[in-house]
């Protein structure tokens, strides 16, 4: 696993008075996404071990030094493709009105899904690679591990319980596991290449099925 000697990751940027990220932060986000797309393309073509950080940086049109400012390892370059969907789910949880059922949450998720999936084909390629590339699998699992407290905070906001309560933590874990299972099932079952619109509809259907299954709980 290649690592940089620089501190990885981008520092969360300031937002303007309107609440929108500043232009420089939007440019950084665009650069991070471009790195992620090129990293997946190279990992798919050459394998993680053979694809170098230098090749990823060159494909993204940046220096290796710049790449290391954004990411601590070459495997972590794929994170922007994973976090976009997770952030969209967290947003849907935050806007899910208290007292409304899972169907209402699913409607919210469906509404934000199209905007969250920047490149569905590349995202699915990445999830497929996690089956055979341990480094990418670790990044995939870490992304979901990091997402769980975010989901818990969003769920706590619509209840009278703190995010640290066992009840909320279990709910967050259920949402997290359902999402991961749905995306993996869809990626591993789908036959690439696929049409983006049809693929997105199938992915949303898989997420719907997974969340409804989680909501029903374990049968007695």
Q: What are the residue ranges of CATH 1.10.357.10 in the chain?
A: 78-216
Mean pLDDT of 167-172: 94
What are the pLDDT digits (tens) for 149-165? 999 999 998 888 999 99
pLDDT at position 36 is 96
Tokens of 207: 């997420």
Instruction: Return d(Cα 6, Cα 71) in angstroms, integer.
Output: 9
The CATH number of the domain covering residues in 78-216: 1.10.357.10
**Can you tell me the distance from the alpha carbon of 106 to that of 92, in angstroms, rounded to the nearest whole number?**
9
The predicted-structure confidence for 57-83, as pLDDT tens digits, reads as follows 999 999 999 999 999 999 999 999 988
**Taking the complete model, does pTM exceed 0.85, yes or no?**
no
What torsion, rounded to 10 degrees, do the Cα atoms 146, 121, 208, 29 define? 40
Rounded to the nearest integer, the mean pLDDT of the chain is: 84
Question: Is 60 exceeded by the pLDDT of residue 17?
Answer: no
Confidence label for 22 from pLDDT (cuts 50, 70 and 90): confident
Confidence of residue 21 (pLDDT cuts 50, 70, 90): low
Q: Token digits for 147? A: 């997402």
**pLDDT tens per residue, range 180-208:** 999 999 998 866 655 556 677 888 889 88
Residues in the chain: 220
> What's the CA dihedral at 140, 141, 143, 147 to 10 degrees?
140
Q: In this structure, what are the phi and psi dihedrals at residue 119, rounded to the nearest 5 degrees?
A: -145, 90
Task: Please provide the distance, in angstroms rounded to a whole number, between the alpha carbons at the two ends of the chain.
Answer: 45
Q: Where in the chain is the domain with CATH 1.10.10.60?
A: 23-76
Report phi then psi at 21, rounded to 5.
-60, 145
CATH class of 23-76: mainly alpha
């Amino acid at each position: 696993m290649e690592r940089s000697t620089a501190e990885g990751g981008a520092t969360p940027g300031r937002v303007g008075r309107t609440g929108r990220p500043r232009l420089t932060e939007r440019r950084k986000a665009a650069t991070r996404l471009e790195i992620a797309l090129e990293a997946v393309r190279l990992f798919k073509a050459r394998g993680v071990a053979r694809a170098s950080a230098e090749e990823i940086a060159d494909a993204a049109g940046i220096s290796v030094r710049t790449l290391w400012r954004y990411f601590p390892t070459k495997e972590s370059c794929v994170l922007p493709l994973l976090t976009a969907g997770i952030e969209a789910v967290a947003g849907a949880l935050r806007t899910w009105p208290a007292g409304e059922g899972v169907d209402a949450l699913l409607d919210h998720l469906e509404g934000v899904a199209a905007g969250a999936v920047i490149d569905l084909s590349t995202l699915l390629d990445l999830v497929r690679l996690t089956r055979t590339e341990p480094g990418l699998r670790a990044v995939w699992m870490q992304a979901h591990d990091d997402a769980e407290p975010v989901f818990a905070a969003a769920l706590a906001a619509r209840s009278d319980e703190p995010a640290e309560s066992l009840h909320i933590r279990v709910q967050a874990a259920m949402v997290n596991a359902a999402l991961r299972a749905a995306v993996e099932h869809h990626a591993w079952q789908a036959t690439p290449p696929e049409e983006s619109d049809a693929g997105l509809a199938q992915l949303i259907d898989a997420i719907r099925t997974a969340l409804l299954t989680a909501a029903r709980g374990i049968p007695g």
